[in-house]
Amino acid sequence: MSYKKLSDLKPMTDGVTPIGVVERQGRVEKARRLMGQAGIDAVYIEGGKSLKYFTGIDWWLSERPMAALLSARGDIVYICPGFEEARLREQITVAGDVRVWEEHEDPHGLTAGVLKDWGLSTGRIGLEEYSRFFVFDGLRKELQQASFVSANPVTIPCRAYKSAAEIALMQRAADITIEAYKVCVGMLRAGMSQAEFHANSVAANKALGVQGGIGAEFGASSAFPHGSKTMDFLKEGDVVLMDGSCTVDGYFSDISRAVVFGTPTQRQRDVWDIEKRAQAAAFAAAQVGAPCEAVDAAARKVITDAGFGPDYKVPGLPHRTGHGIGLDIHEWHNMVRGEKTLLAPGMCFTDEPMIAIYGEFGIRLEDCVYMTPDGPRFFSQPSPDIEQPFA
C-alpha cells in the first residue's frame, strides 16, 4: 500500500469541541450524588487529571499543594499558593471560592480550616487515588478526629463512563494517531534506529496539530511488551512492534501495530494471525452486561488453544488484555481476570492481547473500544493483515 509523506500532513484539529463548562458542572453534581451514596462528606483533589476532569484546570504536581475541595452539599474551594492565585483564577470556569497560603504558611492547615468551617472536623474526607502521602499526612495531623477514606467510589464512576463529547475527542485522537502511523510506517528503512523512528513520529504528530509519538521495537526486542533498553537498528525480516498515542483536549488514543520489514516468514504470519483472532475474540466478548474479565478470557483462550501459555507464561500473553483509557492513558477498568465490573455504555478500553516469544519476536495489535447500548465499537479499525496494517 502507498504511504503519505511528512510534507503531506496538515493539522487535524479543526472543529474539535473541548469539554464545556456545563458538562463539568454536571460532573460535579454527579460527584455530589455519589458522595452522598458513599457517605463521604468532602473530596480533596490535587492537581492532576481528576482536577482537570471536574474543573478544567491544568495543574502540575509540585511540593506546593494546589487542590480543589468538593463538599457533598456543593461547595467548592480552591486551595492555592498565594503567588499562583492569578494563574489559577485565569483557569477557573467552575465557580468556587479561592483560599491562598503564603510561602511561610502551612497549606494543610488552610485546608483543615475550610473543612472545619464546613463542620467537617470529624467528617469522612475522601482522597483521590493519586493523592501524595505528604498531603495525607499533613491533613490527618491537622484533622485528627476526621476519617480519611478513598474517593474511588466518587471519582472512578465519574471518569470511567465517557460522555458523547469525551468519545468524540478520543475518536479524533485515534484518527490522528492512525494518520501518524501511515507516515511513519512508510518511512521505515534498513539501518533506522528506534530513536529515529520515534523522532519521525513526534514530527508527524506535530504536523497533525497535536503532541504525541510512536515507540517502536525491532526484531527480538519486539517480544518485550514495553521494549528493551537495547538500541536496535532495523534489518530485513525484523518484526516492527509499534505503540503510539496522542492527546486531544487531554484525551488519549492508544494504538499498536505489528508489521514485518520485508517479507514475513510463515512463522511470523501464523503468530500474527493467532494474535488477530485473539483481538477479535476479545472484541466479540465485550458485550453490555458482561464482566470485564470475560474480554481477557476470550483473547487468552485463542492464544492458549494455539499452544501458547497457559496463563501469563511466555511464549504467550504475559499481561492483561486491556485497560481503561481517557484523560489518563491507563484508567479503570482493566480487562483482566478477577475484574468483575460489568461493561456498560460509555466505558472505553484497549483491546491489546499480545503474543510474546522471547528470543524471536512479539506481536501485539491494539485498538481502543468504546461501549454503546448496542455493544462495542472500535475507535480505530484493526489491521486486516500482516502486510496491510491499516484498514
Give residues with Cβ within 8 angstroms of 273, minimum separation 6. Answer: 386
Same fold, 21-159 and 164-378: no
Helix (H, G, I), strand (E, B) or coil at 137: helix
> What pLDDT is attached to residue 227?
86
Question: What fold, for 164-378?
Answer: Creatine Amidinohydrolase (3.90.230)
In the chain, where the domains are located: 21-159, 164-378
Along the 391 residues of the chain, how does pLDDT read in single tens digits? Answer: 667 789 999 999 999 999 999 999 999 999 999 999 999 999 999 999 999 999 999 999 999 999 999 999 989 999 999 999 999 999 999 999 999 999 999 999 999 999 999 999 999 999 999 999 999 999 999 999 999 999 999 999 999 999 999 999 999 999 999 999 999 999 999 999 999 999 999 999 999 999 999 999 999 999 999 988 888 999 999 999 999 999 999 999 999 999 999 999 999 999 999 999 999 999 999 999 999 999 999 999 999 999 999 999 999 999 999 999 999 999 999 999 999 999 999 999 999 999 999 999 999 999 999 999 999 999 999 999 999 999 9
What CATH class is the domain 21-159?
alpha beta
Strand partners, 375: 372
- The CA distances from residue 304 to 63, 316, 340, 381, in Å, are 48, 7, 22, 25
Contact in structure between 128 and 105 (CB atoms under 8 Å): no
